[in-house]
């Protein structure tokens, strides 16, 4: 069975390459031809559109920036829905609004096409080494059908509930990650301003209760002043907006998320939206008038 892969950006490209390495035959499509060419060089076949990809594949994976992009690629002109045969499975691995996942799935169901929403966590490094955490929503039988494929891109794939549950879980993940980065930022800025080397603070606390995967991943970067994106601030803003919208729709107050969202928005206004989300520390550095670096304040 051919696998279609639509969306070959920072995350999609290494994920697709891992499927090729695992021996799967891929048909790929992206709006940027250079990305398609790179995957063709790695062994994939080029598709001319999302419709063309779906027409050749029983399983189609999408990895796109946000809800409107997924709707366009799946339901729009020359989209997946126009090319897919009944029984085709669409796995949307984008991080989008849960309501959008449900709307797309309902449209596909009218054509006999199954869908899972399966967003991921881990950023570019884990996409490259195929250790992503994959959160899935949809039918158990459909999940079991594609689970082995998912595990060629991630170290875990967990069915969280019906369609949309994957993206609800991803929003919960993104809230926790954002608040972890904010907490790390406040702590390191406090240490640096008080004259204590933040690298030593990191070494002292990482093995205790304050330790986390977020701290281990982001602290070394911020201590070097390295904000090269594995996951851009502008994408985290998108996820937090989806979290806030979903929270408001379901009647759940998330005040800490709102505060971190405003800090990220401030960095966006300052032109830093393309920085890694660990660059959130720059918001706190500016407030305190200090830069966090190895050896102490810079």
Q: Any bridge partners for residue 4, and if so which?
A: 27, 60
8 A C-beta contact, residue 63 and residue 5 = yes
Q: Catalogue the active-site residues.
A: 170
E strand or H helix at 73, and its extent? helix 67-75
Half-sphere exposure of 202 (CA within 13 A, CB side): 25
Q: Look up residue 160 and give its two tokens.
A: 């969280």
- The 3-state DSSP composition of the chain as helix, strand, coil percent (nearest 5) reads 55, 15, 30
Task: Give CA–CA dist 226/3, Å, rounded.
Answer: 36
Please calculate the CA angle 46-53-47 and round it to the nearest 5 degrees. Answer: 20
CA distances from 91 to 23, 29, 95, 248 (A): 19, 15, 12, 27
Question: Token pair 């702590």 is at which residue?
Answer: 187
Please calculate the CA angle 55-53-8 and round it to the nearest 5 degrees. Answer: 165
CB atoms within 10 A of CB 229: 18
8 A C-beta contact, residue 49 and residue 77 = no
E strand or H helix at 188, and its extent? helix 165-193
Task: Give CA–CA dist 4/172, Å, rounded.
Answer: 28
Half-sphere exposure of 51 (CA within 13 A, CB side): 8
């Amino acid at each position: 069975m051919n696998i279609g892969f639509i969306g070959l950006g920072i995350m999609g490209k290494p994920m697709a390459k891992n499927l090729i390495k695992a021996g799967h035959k891929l048909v790929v499509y992206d709006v940027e031809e250079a990305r398609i060419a790179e995957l063709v060089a790695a062994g994939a076949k080029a598709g001319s559109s999302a419709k063309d990809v779906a027409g050749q594949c029983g399983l189609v994976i999408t990895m796109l920036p946000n809800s409107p992009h997924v709707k366009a690629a799946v339901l729009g002109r020359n989209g997946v829905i126009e090319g897919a045969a009944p029984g085709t499975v669409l796995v949307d691995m984008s991080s989008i609004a849960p309501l959008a996942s449900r709307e797309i799935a309902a449209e596909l169901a009218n054509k006999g096409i199954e869908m899972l929403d399966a967003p991921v966590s881990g950023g570019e490094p884990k996409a490259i080494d195929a250790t992503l955490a994959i959160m899935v929503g949809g039918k158990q039988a459909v999940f079991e059908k594609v689970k082995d494929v998912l595990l060629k891109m991630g170290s875990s794939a967990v069915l969280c509930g019906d369609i949309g549950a994957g993206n609800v879980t991803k929003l919960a993940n993104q809230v926790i990650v954002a608040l972890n980065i904010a907490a790390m930022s406040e702590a390191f800025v406090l240490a640096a301003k008080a004259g204590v080397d933040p690298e030593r603070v990191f070494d002292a606390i990482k093995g205790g209760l304050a330790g986390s995967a977020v701290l281990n991943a982001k602290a070394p970067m911020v201590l070097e002043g390295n904000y090269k994106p594995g996951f851009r601030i502008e994408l985290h803003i998108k996820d937090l907006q989806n979290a806030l919208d979903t929270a408001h729709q379901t009647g759940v107050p998330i005040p800490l998320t709102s505060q971190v969202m405003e800090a990220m928005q401030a960095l966006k206004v300052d032109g830093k939206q393309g920085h890694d989300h660990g660059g959130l520390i720059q918001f706190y550095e500016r407030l305190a008038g200090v830069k966090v670096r190895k050896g102490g304040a810079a």
